[in-house]
A and B are shown apart, each in its own frame.
Chain A
Amino acid sequence: MSFLEICRQLLPGMGITLQIFFITLLFSIPLGLAIAIGRMSRFKIVSWIFRLYIDIMRGTPLMLQLLVVYFGPYYMFGINISSSYRGIAVMIAFSINYAAYFAEIYRAGINSIDKGQWEAAYILGYNKVQTFAKIILPQMKKRIIPPMTNEMVTLVKDTSLAFSIAYAEMFTEAKRIASAQTSMMPFVAAALFYFSFNAIISLLSNKVEKKLSYYD
């Protein structure tokens, strides 16, 4: 099989990998913010619960979380899982896992903004939501771009974990073709794909960071 043919066969899998990537971001970016806010709550119990959540998500393997989300409904409640649940399980597991990482990045970002910014806004009559949306968030955005980029690069690579529940993303397909053809080429194609995808992410992130630096 030619290299080009291998790439062609991997194409649908790449689509699914991209889908995992973008859907995970779509859910985990806002979810992470909610978790960060919960984590910073001045109510001790609330902040403790969110902290526990973050610690569990970051302290256990994503693959394990994936298996729990996928098999959990059957093992725990005897619900029959259809194969269409695979994709959903992947998105859920990835989103709740990455949300925990993003939450910690947001929290660090919020804490990195000088307290004086909150105080100046308070004196000028901004309420908390206005202060966050207008004063804190725009300044924080720029600072969280580098750590967010790191996470996204990791996410691209982590999408390959979906093979553990046989979800037909690109890596699962590459493995299948490789063993059918006893060839390294599918892996080379996969590596190229991950590498180029991450190169694009880094490039875009640099662009965005520059754009957000308009004020200094």
Chain B
Amino acid sequence: MAVLEMKHLKKDFDNTPVLKDINLTVNEGEVVSIIGPSGSGKTTLLRCATLLEKMDDGSLQYLDDTIAKSVNGKSVYENKKALRKATSYYGLVFQNFNLFPHYSVLKNITEAPILTQKRDKNEVNEQAMSLLSKMGLEDKADAFPGQLSGGQKQRVSIARALCMNPKILFFDEPTSALDPELTLEILAVIKKLAATNMTMVIVTHEMLFAKEVSDRMIFMDQGVVVEETTPENMFHSDNKRTQEFLGKYTDLL
């Protein structure tokens, strides 16, 4: 079953097309990674999927819920309430974490489920502590984000997203603000999540990681999907642009 379905997505910035007719379907339990050069529209695609940005044209659906449909070449979104509800389907892990600096680690994770999902406080606290211990951060529950390393911050932000029990989790270059050692730490966490059948879409420049963790890879360039296939095929692609982009990595594989 498709958790996310985006069809014929178009998005312009200042009359410059940034996404041109993109289709993206993600099935339950699938890990899809998106690769491509800088400026190809990867972030914009995730931002459209997470409603941080509105599509100009195209449709968007989470499970059985239509969030936006295309009417006469324009995206028409559901009302505010429906969009609000839609946010509960997904989580997003930002490149720069965006933790709330004035909250403790625990409160960063627990406030939203309690406040916006109206869940039981004890149950949420328990889940948060169990997530923290899975992330090796149980002793940091009372720390503030400013006291953590980048890798620890990113683990907290992953825990924060997971505590909302999303159906799908988006990552936008979760490791590019981190040094190599901390990068490995976060990649290990994401691999563990993949093993639990979490549905994920990962934008990354870590090609080896993408190859290892993904069920499917998407190569984007200049606002279009150039190729969409298994990691195996992607790295042995006949497509010239794919080859060019992956050229510097294939030697490593």
Give residues in A with beta carbon < 8 Å to B. Answer: 114, 116-117, 119-127, 130, 134-135, 138-139, 214-216
Q: A117 is contacted by which of B50, B52, B87, B98 (Cβ under 8 Å)?
A: B98
- Interface of chain B residues 161 through 201 with chain A (CB within 8 A): 161, 164
Return chain A residues, CB-CB under 8 Å to B91: 123
Chain A min CB distance to B165 (Å) = 12
Q: Give complex CA distance A215, B107 in Å.
A: 13
Q: B112 is contacted by which of A117, A124, A214 (Cβ under 8 Å)?
A: A124
Q: Give complex CA distance A121, B51 in Å.
A: 12
Q: Give complex CA distance A138, B88 in Å.
A: 25
CB atoms of A123 and B92 under 8 A apart:
yes
CB atoms of B92 and A138 under 8 A apart:
no
A116-B94, A119-B98 known; A124+B160 contact, CB < 8 A: yes
Return chain B residues, CB-CB under 8 Å to A135: 100
CB atoms of A124 and B102 under 8 A apart:
no
Q: Give complex CA distance A216, B146 in Å.
A: 6
Q: Mark B53-90, 1 if CB is under 8 A from A, else 0.
A: 00000000000000000000000000000001001101
Q: Give complex CA distance A111, B50 in Å.
A: 23
Q: A215 is contacted by which of B50, B90, B98, B144 (Cβ under 8 Å)?
A: B144
Q: Give complex CA distance A45, B171 in Å.
A: 39
Q: Give complex CA distance A138, B117 in Å.
A: 22
Q: B116 is contacted by which of A130, A215, A216 (Cβ under 8 Å)?
A: A130
Number of B residues with CB within 8 Å of any CB on chain A: 28
Q: Give complex CA distance A33, B145 in Å.
A: 28
A134-B111, A216-B144 known; A125+B84 contact, CB < 8 A: yes
CB atoms of A116 and B96 under 8 A apart:
yes
- State the majority secondary structure of interface residues on A: helix
CB atoms of B116 and A123 under 8 A apart:
no
Q: What 3 A-B pairs are tightest by C-beta distance, nearest first?
A: A125-B116, A124-B112, A120-B98
| B115 within 8 Å of A (CB atoms) | yes
Chain B min CB distance to A160 (Å) = 38
| B39 within 8 Å of A (CB atoms) | no
Return chain A residues, CB-CB under 8 Å to B144: 214-216
With a 10 A CB-CB cut-off, give which of A122, A124, A138 has the most chain B CB atoms: A124
Give residues in B with beta carbon < 8 Å to A. Answer: 50-52, 84, 87-88, 90-92, 94, 96, 98-103, 111-112, 115-117, 144-146, 160-161, 164
Chain A min CB distance to B49 (Å) = 11
Q: Give complex CA distance A215, B105 in Å.
A: 11
CB atoms of A126 and B116 under 8 A apart:
yes
A127-B84, A130-B116, A216-B146 known; A114+B102 contact, CB < 8 A: no
Given contacts A120-B94, A123-B52, 7 further A-B contacts (CB under 8 A): A116-B98, A120-B92, A121-B100, A123-B50, A125-B112, A125-B115, A134-B111
Chain A min CB distance to B89 (Å) = 11
CB atoms of A125 and B164 under 8 A apart:
yes
Q: Give complex CA distance A129, B107 in Å.
A: 19
CB atoms of A123 and B117 under 8 A apart:
no
CB atoms of B146 and A125 under 8 A apart:
no
CB atoms of B112 and A126 under 8 A apart:
yes
CB atoms of A215 and B102 under 8 A apart:
yes
Return chain B residues, CB-CB under 8 Å to A120: 92, 94, 98-100
Q: Give complex CA distance A138, B104 in Å.
A: 13
Return chain B residues, CB-CB under 8 Å to A127: 84, 116
Return chain B residues, CB-CB under 8 Å to A121: 100
